[in-house]
Structure 1
Amino acid sequence: MFLPNRNPLVLLPAALLLLNLPTHAQQPVKRDYVMTGAPLAKMPVDPKIAVALTKVSDARIKANIEKLVSFKTRNTLSSMETDLAPGTGIAAATEYIKGQFEEYSKACGGCLEVKVDEFTQEPLPGANARIRKPTILRNVYAVLRGTDPAQAKRIYLVTGHYDTIESDVMNDHDAAPGANDDSSGSAVSMENARVLSQYKFPATIVFVTVAGEEQGLIGSAHFAKLAKAEGWELEGVLNNDIVGGNTTPGDTLQDKTAVRVFAQGILPTLPLAEIQAALAVGADNDTPSRELAREVVDTARTYFAPAVRKQAYGTFAPVMELRLDRFGRGGDHKSFNAEGFAAVRFTEWREDFHHQHQTPRVENGVQYGDLLQFDDFKYIAQVARLNMATLATLASSPGIPQKVYVTNPPYHLDTTITWEAPLAASGEVRYQIVWRQTAASDWEYAGDAAKYMDPTTKSGAFSATIPVSKDNVFIGVRACDAAGHCSQAVAPMPAPGGRQQ
């Protein structure tokens, strides 16, 4: 039937219903990446980790930040000054942090190796150099050795910087409290040391506070080079910088339920051939740092679920940011990226630049300065818990799969992946294949690799074929133990010598 002044096409779906013919919208979608595997499930809760999270104390975090602020200035340059008031300057802060680590170690029967990475930075070039004479820097750290002889070689690290500046970056005498930037991150590292030192993990965890960040990431660069030179199997770095949950009166846009997690894409320092190979298959969003960030997000889904926290510490979620850092800025994780280590940065949702790198003062009715009054200690405790859950999970996992490749030709619609066991794998290791649509930033689906495994696979080397087109998804492989602690995923590259077209 035709109705005047109407578009007859709008009647077509109704007409098809009358004829009992299905419309396109009624057809079930049978996409390979949906039909294979299952939606990615949360990792099971480890009761030990769940209990550890409840031991994080915002009161202890506050006490540490108050003490750091009491040193008046922690400008890195103050390490060379002899006319500072007693109990002020960065050298006094160094001794305090070292003493706290030693107290934590004493409480766990000497389980922490407390060390100071001390070095002298020579003057930097340029008219605007922030170090103009030889200056002593000290990074303070504590090592919780893994209990598994093989897995102890694997290391995860948490860090924050304890140096500060005010408006004049060369002023090493006047007040530069740095309550947020970065007493907050230092307090996260210290609280993780206090709580996690009461537990044992197969892999090693290192708790660090570095100096020289405000002079150009100098302390972290030295520490990252130290790790590289000593051959550390450093599988992930969590850098916390400006995680104080800034609380400016009247700011309605701060989000106390979220923290940003910044993760580097392709390293510009990689050999050109490696950059080109990654770009050719779209792997620029599957760098080791971004896989680490995805594991932070995955961990949060487990340990910040209502059934786990039972209202003890409320809602909290990491938001993965697909860039190195905030626009045009940088932090200590960049130093570890530069040495080839996976590293991410945690930063509060919304910063207030009146309270960063400012001489404390009131000007035109506005309070300037990185002052204690603007820190939210309960927020910092949430960030500490997220770091803690991630470190404990990864340090309990078997480690990262090695030599992950796609081996079948690009014109095959299924996907064959090969990989080798983690370097220090011990005990039962289970492998999970994860994937996501190419427009998605986080893993969406997963399958037990054993279901797709080639039965002729040799020990330590694995091959699995999943009926999912590698054209429409990004794929990764991660290693899990029997209790469900999983490593970060590794995205496959085309096998060396494989056919490309």
Structure 2
Amino acid sequence: MAAGVSLTLQADQLDYVDQPQLHDIAADISAARIEQDITRLVSFGTRHTLSETESDTRGIGAARRWVKAEFERISAACGNCLEVYYSSATIDNESRIPEPVEVVSVIAIQRGISDPDRYVLMSGDIDSRVSDVMNATADSPGANDNASGVAGTLEAARVLSQYRFNGSIVYAALSGEEQGLFGGKILAEQAQKEGWRLKAVLNNDMIGNIEGVNGVINNTTARIFAEGTRQTETEREGRIRRFTGGEVDSPSRNLARYIDLMADRYIENLDTMVIYRLDRFGRGGHHRPFNDLGYPGVRIMETNENYTRQHQDLRTENGIEYGDTLDGVNFDYAAKLTALNAVSLAGMAWAPSPPQEVSIKGAVQPSTTLSWAPLEKSQNPQLAGYKIYWRYTDAPQWQFSRFVGDVNEFTLKNIVIDNYFFGVASVSKEGFESPVVFPGAAGAFGE
């Protein structure tokens, strides 16, 4: 459980409760350790999914064994608090994997103490590539894409493993991203098969570049990509959404709003842009396989990309140096985005589970009533109650809130349903809040 004094939360209390532990977590993230890990990953020469697996010094095999050893070292330091294992499957007959290849990711799970089957997940991608996506032998440093995401995931595990949480946290170094998002697909299918109550996927893909190909140099912003309508929406749910809203309130979008608020509250000199799109225009990342199965997932990354450093053979042409090398990574910036992940994971893992079965009514009435199913108390002993949020329909972030106590229905008098969007968050006795859940299937965070 979180240390500190429990709060007596009163109905109508509107203010967010600042959490000193989250400030401590953000401050503990080390740019120096992230630099060491990125440097080590680059040292393997190439981490292409189809590259060498037997060597101890080069290729994807050596890289994933090193990542697993790092997770095991972190686990040993916290009394074996992490479950570390390989997640793998053999892939073949694909355009970018024509022959059978075992795609192997490294997973570490920090089990929650009261609700171990509820998960939040942070990921980065082990693999790298050059200009030819099938070239598995050329040097492919992949310093920013995506050693930065893996190093951030390792660093988050180092810091968060010093704490105990109610829910579980998954740290994932995924493989096969450049060949077709296969590591994410394998893990997402495992989560579905095993019935994980997976509430958030934070995919970190390129979190270290501050010098854009557009000439902008900026270390104060980051992007959070979040899709709208859930990929698993049924035809009936779509018809309901047409009349009740929810296009901009999918669980992924409200997860992104949660992370955006965490940046405002706990990460100095960082403003996040929530972008209403699955990923960059026409492109994809490792959160998508989770979105495909209905899990809330977002991509966290730098704002200003430099395409001369992405998916490039190492070369110099017309005075331009191409290639994803260490000198293109700003380690302080990577630490800043890692800290954003860490405080967001911690906040959600300490908070009660997001509310379930949220519904709303109030058509042709002067007031709006929200209701939700009671959370299981044995899983959520930290629960103090629930907070209702609402905002104008064209506002990007939640504007108004009211803590209503440990009840399962509440009427906002003289607040007309037609003029706002609404949602409900669960709140712990220490004041940790879950992401806001929009009513109906459009906003549900799953079971």
Q: Is the 8 A contact 2:165 2:349 kept in 1?
A: yes
Cα deviations by residue, 1:343-401 (Å, 9 ceiling, x for unpaired): 11001011011000001100111110111100000000000100011000000001111
Of residues 103, 108, 112, the one that matches 1:142 is: 108
2-structure distance, mates of 1:246, 1:133: 38
> What is the CA distance between 1:48 and its match in structure 2?
2.3
> What is the CA distance between 1:107 and its match in structure 2?
0.9
- Match status 1:191 vs 2:155: yes
> What is the CA distance between 1:447 and its match in structure 2?
1.1
> What is the CA distance between 1:413 and its match in structure 2?
2.6
Q: Is the 8 A contact 1:406 1:494 kept in 2?
A: no
Match of 1:109 in 2: 79
> What is the CA distance between 1:339 and its match in structure 2?
1.0
Q: Is the 8 A contact 1:180 1:246 kept in 2?
A: no
Unmatched 5+ stretches in structure 2: 1-11, 443-447
- Match status 1:296 vs 2:296: no
Of residues 112, 132, 135, the one that matches 2:98 is: 132
Match of 1:498 in 2: none
> What is the CA distance between 1:446 and its match in structure 2?
0.7
SS of the residue 1:237 aligns to: strand
> 4+ residue runs of structure 1 moved beyond 4 angstroms?
none
Match of 1:415 in 2: 368
2-structure distance, mates of 1:426, 1:320: 32
> What is the CA distance between 1:63 and its match in structure 2?
0.5
Q: Is the 8 A contact 1:155 1:206 kept in 2?
A: yes
> What is the CA distance between 1:152 and its match in structure 2?
1.9
CA radius of gyration, larger in: 1
Match of 2:417 in 1: 470
* Alpha-carbon spacing, 1:209–1:466, altered in 2? closer, same or farther (3 Å): farther
What pairs with 1:332-347 in structure 2 (closer than 5 Å)?
332-347=286-301
> What is the CA distance between 1:441 and its match in structure 2?
1.1
> What is the CA distance between 1:147 and its match in structure 2?
1.6
Q: Is the 8 A contact 1:405 1:494 kept in 2?
A: no
* Alpha-carbon spacing, 1:53–1:427, altered in 2? closer, same or farther (3 Å): closer
Match of 1:171 in 2: 135
- Match status 1:431 vs 2:386: yes
1-structure distance, mates of 2:238, 2:317: 49
* More displaced stretch, 109-118 vs 48-57: 48-57
Match of 2:322 in 1: 368
Of residues 13, 24, 31, the one that matches 1:58 is: 31
> What is the CA distance between 1:327 and its match in structure 2?
0.8
Q: Is the 8 A contact 2:209 2:306 kept in 1?
A: no
> What is the CA distance between 1:269 and its match in structure 2?
3.9
> What is the CA distance between 1:79 and its match in structure 2?
4.8
RMSD of Structure 2 on Structure 1 (CA): 1.9
Unmatched 5+ stretches in structure 1: 1-36, 305-313, 496-501
Q: Is the 8 A contact 1:259 1:318 kept in 2?
A: yes
1-structure distance, mates of 2:294, 2:31: 34
Of residues 239, 259, 263, the one that matches 2:226 is: 263
* Alpha-carbon spacing, 1:172–1:62, altered in 2? closer, same or farther (3 Å): same
> What is the CA distance between 1:188 and its match in structure 2?
1.0
What pairs with 1:40-55 in structure 2 (closer than 5 Å)?
41=15, 43-55=16-28
> What is the CA distance between 1:427 and its match in structure 2?
3.6
SS of the residue 1:330 aligns to: coil
> What is the CA distance between 1:98 and its match in structure 2?
0.3
2-structure distance, mates of 1:167, 1:113: 36
> What is the CA distance between 1:287 and its match in structure 2?
0.4
Counterpart of 1:467, as a letter, is N
Q: Is the 8 A contact 1:79 1:137 kept in 2?
A: no
Counterpart of 2:163, as a letter, is Y
2-structure distance, mates of 1:100, 1:288: 32
Match of 2:88 in 1: 118
SS of the residue 1:335 aligns to: helix
Identity %: 38
What pairs with 1:55-454 in structure 2 (closer than 5 Å)?
55-79=28-52, 87-124=57-94, 129-148=95-114, 151-247=115-211, 252-304=215-267, 314-408=268-362, 410-423=363-376, 424-450=379-405
Q: Is the 8 A contact 1:131 1:215 kept in 2?
A: yes
SS of the residue 1:147 aligns to: coil
Counterpart of 2:354, as a letter, is I
> What is the CA distance between 1:86 and its match in structure 2?
5.0
2-structure distance, mates of 1:99, 1:169: 28
Counterpart of 1:303, as a letter, is Y
User: Matched residue pairs, number?
Assistant: 429
